[in-house]
Amino acid sequence: MKQYKVLDYGIVRLVDFMGGDSAVVQSARVSFGKGITNDERDQKLVFFLMANGHETPFEHSVFKFHIKCPIFVARQWFRHRMASYNEISGRYTEMVEEFCLPEQLRTQKTKNYRYNELSAELNETLRQKIQAHYNLSYELYQELLEGGVAKEHARIVLPLSLYTQFYWTINSRSLMNFIKLRTEEHAQYEIRQFAHVIDDIFREKMPWTNAAFHKYVIAGEKWSDE
Ligand SMILES: Cc1cc2nc3c(=O)[nH]c(=O)nc-3n(C[C@H](O)[C@H](O)[C@H](O)COP(=O)(O)OP(=O)(O)OC[C@H]3O[C@@H](n4cnc5c(N)ncnc54)[C@H](O)[C@@H]3O)c2cc1C
């Protein structure tokens, strides 16, 4: 399976997939005791369903991903409840020394919702301090483990930037909600990078649904029955 790299140590990997555009068409047409017909009519049906908010047929396609991302991104990710999650355990597994360190640190947003740039010099000084903090916290983690402290307690010294891993199973209806919320500009840059990769995989697996989603949900176009 193809593995996409995101940020410094992150990954997105599609582990399994069920359904596709034809599954949307099939489940919508069951209302009339019918199934798929021809590409032109089937694609039009997908666009009609999307434009008019008939969302349940999109629940019959399911993606299973393996995700590796920083804990601060996972905390935002796990708020998407209409999905299934299983995460690596810090109680049973020794955590790997992988921390997210942004290339460019951002300032707090200004009143007009824009970020300012830190000077290159300050950015580098602060990044070095963060790296030193990561080194110290991981050394302490190791010291606690070597001293006989349980993993579930030793991990409390590790920062939110530590990478975690989880399996994420989600149907395409809920996936679109995730992509919509997490690719928009108010979402944090780091989760946006993952959401764009997820959107690329979604496009590859369900091209009609993805095109309809971008047209009617993201771009907000209205349905016209030409
Ligand atoms: C830019 C941004 C900033 C955010 N800031 C914050 C923040 O400061 N603090 C914070 O706590 N969260 C924050 N969130 C998280 C946000 O409130 C949602 O929890 C998250 O985006 C998941 O969205 P969701 O509930 O639509 O998704 P899901 O949990 O996957 O739910 C999907 C849909 O199912 C339905 N649903 C699910 N659960 C219920 C329910 N209990 N009752 C009724 N309907 C339900 C809703 O229609 C929902 O849209 C932020 C999100 C974004 C994108």
**How many angstroms does the Cα of residue 151 sit away from the middle of ligand 1?**
32
**pLDDT tens over the chain, length 226 residues:** 789 999 999 999 999 999 999 999 999 998 777 777 788 899 999 999 999 999 999 999 999 999 999 999 999 999 999 999 999 999 999 999 999 999 999 988 877 777 777 899 999 999 999 999 999 999 999 999 999 999 999 999 999 999 999 999 999 999 999 999 999 999 999 999 999 999 999 999 999 999 999 999 999 999 987 6
Domain assignments of the chain as residue spans, ordered by start: 3-87+162-218, 101-160
For ligand 1, the distance from its centroid to the CA atom of residue 174, given in whole angstroms, is: 11
* Active-site residue set: 182
In this structure, are residues 8 and 64 in contact, taking their beta carbons and an 8 Å threshold? no
How many alpha carbons lie under 13 Å from residue 110 in its C-beta half-sphere?
5
The residue nearest atom 35 of ligand 1, judged by CA position, is: 82
Q: Ligand 1 — pocket residues by CB below 6 A?
A: 79-82, 174, 177, 181-182, 186-187
Rounded CA separation 175/181 (Å)? 10
Q: How far does residue 83's CA lie from ligand 1's centre (Å)?
A: 12
How is the beta sheet containing 3-6 ordered, strand by strand? 3-6, 10-18, 62-70, 163-171, 84-87
Q: Which pTM value belongs to this model?
A: 0.95
Distance 132 CA to ligand 1 centre (A): 35
**Ligand 1 pocket test, candidate residues 81, 170, 175, 190, most atoms within 8 A of CB:** 81
The string of DSSP letters for 33-61 reads T-----HHHHHHHHHHHHHTT--GGGGG-
Q: Which CATH architecture has domain 3-87+162-218?
A: 2-Layer Sandwich (3.30)
